[in-house]
């Protein structure tokens, strides 16, 4: 059985840990708020560009631009957004589970040390590794867009997918895989055909013509999609870390309460034993 000194030492240790996790919770909460605001602010623009491209794609043949459509092949490039640090709950392990479901000839671009280290262990081809900025900027995505666009246009790869954690709310983040290139896949073509049948046709005007607008907007679309994904991945990371540290703090508080009860019980037992010893000695002296 543990002594009072050992339990007191453990209580102090857990209390120190609680202070650390609480401080990390507060830091993560502040970062989470900024990241959430940035991710939310970018969504309307991303949706607008997406809607514009879909409108143009409905009026031209997707094969008119090499980024829009391509016959499916086996070679896929996966952009893997993970984290540099741990203590983010099950965020990275959920990403790994999604990754293990991927099939085909896979190459990877990683952002985040956790993802890079995992890919190195699996033996998959690591095409490039980019630093994961603490404060994401549009400039962070430009070299990635340049690389994947070049690889795709040169037909070294057939598809580009993104593996990241989609931000839903503070308590809900979902690991998903999305296709980034080609932009129009079979599912989107089916949706466009369905929309054309169900909705009244409203022809938007594109000046000077849809092809020219498409040529100008496609690179911007890929850049903004990747930037929005980066913002959501960061918001998810900070949210997951804040929740994990909050749970750790609460667990530490509960453990301190349990240890304190145990400590008081042992202390009371020692006092009772001492009183009994004194009483026994007093009776013996009478």
Domain holding 189: CATH number? Answer: 3.40.1380.10
Q: Between residues 191 and 243, which one has the greater pLDDT?
A: 243
Outline where DSSP puts E strands in the chain: 75-81, 105-111, 125-130, 159-169, 172-181
Residues 6+ apart with CB under 8 A from 49: 217, 220, 221, 224
Under 8 Å between Cβ of 141 and 162: no
Question: Is 195 a residue whose pLDDT tops 60?
Answer: no
Phi, psi dihedral angles at 55 (to 5 degrees) = -65, -40
Strand partners for 110: 80, 129
Q: Residue 26 belongs to what domain range?
A: 22-243
Q: Are 47 and 58 in the same domain? A: yes
Q: Is residue 246 scored above 90 in pLDDT?
A: yes
Q: Both 28 and 132 in a single domain? A: yes
Return d(Cα 111, Cα 84) in angstroms, integer: 8
Residues 6+ apart with CB under 8 A from 28: 238, 241, 242, 245
What are the b/e assignments for 247-260, b being 16+ CB within 10 Å? ebbeebeebbeebe
Q: Pick the last residue of a domain from 213, 228, 243.
A: 243
Tokens 């290139």 found at = 181
- Please give the average per-residue pLDDT across 185-195, as a whole number: 51
User: Sheet containing 125-130: which strands, arranged edge to edge?
Assistant: 125-130, 105-111, 75-81, 159-169, 172-181
Is the same domain home to 239 and 273?
A: no
Q: How much is the pLDDT for 199?
A: 47
**Mean local confidence (pLDDT), 49-76:** 73
Q: Which of 133-147, 177-191, 265-279 has the highest mean pLDDT?
A: 133-147
- Both 145 and 277 in one domain: the answer is no
pLDDT in tens, 116-146: 999 999 889 999 999 988 888 889 999 999 9
Does residue 197 carry a pLDDT above 60? no
Q: Tell whether 151 and 263 lie within a shared domain.
A: no
DSSP secondary structure code for residue 170 in this structure: T
Provide the whole-model pTM.
0.82
Claim to verify: residue 154 and residue 228 sit in the same structural domain: yes
In the chain, pLDDT over 90 holds for what percent of residues? 47
Average pLDDT, the chain: 85
Q: Do 106 and 137 reside in the same domain of the chain?
A: yes
Last residue of a domain, one of 243, 258, 275: 243
Q: 144 and 260: one domain?
A: no
Alpha carbon distance 143, 45 (integer Å): 21
On whether both 48 and 75 belong to a single domain, the answer is yes
Residue recorded with tokens 């949210």? 239
Cα separation, 94 vs 102, whole angstroms: 13
pLDDT for 231: 93
Query: Cα 246–250–256 angle (5° rounding)?
Result: 145
Which tokens is 37 given?
Answer: 């605001």
CA distances from residue 223 to 47, 111, 182, 217 in whole angstroms, order as listed: 13, 16, 14, 10
Q: pLDDT higher for 222 or 192? A: 222
- Does 220 score more than 60 pLDDT? yes
Residues 257, 199 share a domain:
no
Distance CA(152)–CA(160), nearest Å, equals: 8
Total domains in the chain come to: 2
On whether both 47 and 157 belong to a single domain, the answer is: yes
Residues 134 and 219 in one domain: yes
């Amino acid at each position: 059985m543990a002594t009072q000194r050992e339990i007191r030492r453990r209580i102090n240790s857990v209390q120190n840990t609680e202070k650390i996790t609480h401080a990390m919770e507060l830091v993560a909460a502040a970062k989470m708020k900024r990241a959430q605001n940035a991710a939310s602010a970018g969504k309307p623009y991303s949706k607008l560009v997406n809607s514009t491209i879909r409108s143009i794609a409905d009026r031209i043949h997707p094969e008119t631009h090499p980024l829009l459509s391509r016959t499916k092949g086996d070679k896929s490039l996966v952009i893997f957004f993970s984290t540099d640090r741990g203590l983010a709950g099950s965020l990275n392990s959920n990403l790994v589970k999604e990754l293990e479901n991927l099939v085909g000839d896979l190459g990877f671009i990683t952002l985040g040390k956790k993802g890079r280290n995992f890919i190195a262990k699996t033996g998959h081809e690591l095409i490039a590794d980019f630093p994961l900025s603490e404060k994401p900027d549009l400039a962070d995505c430009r070299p990635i867009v340049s690389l994947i666009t070049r690889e795709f246009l040169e037909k070294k790869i057939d598809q580009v997918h993104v593996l990241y954690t989609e931000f839903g709310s503070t308590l809900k983040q979902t690991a998903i895989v999305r296709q980034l290139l080609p932009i129009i896949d079979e599912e989107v073509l089916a949706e466009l055909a369905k929309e054309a049948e169900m909705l009244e046709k409203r022809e938007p005007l594109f000046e000077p013509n849809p092809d020219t607008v498409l040529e100008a907007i496609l690179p911007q679309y890929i850049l903004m999609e990747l930037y929005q994904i980066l913002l959501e991945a960061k918001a998810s990371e900070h949210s997951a870390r804040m929740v994990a540290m909050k749970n750790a703090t609460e667990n530490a508080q509960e453990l301190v309460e349990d240890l304190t009860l145990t400590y008081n019980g042992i202390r009371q037992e020692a006092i009772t034993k001492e009183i009994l010893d004194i009483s026994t000695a007093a009776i013996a002296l009478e």
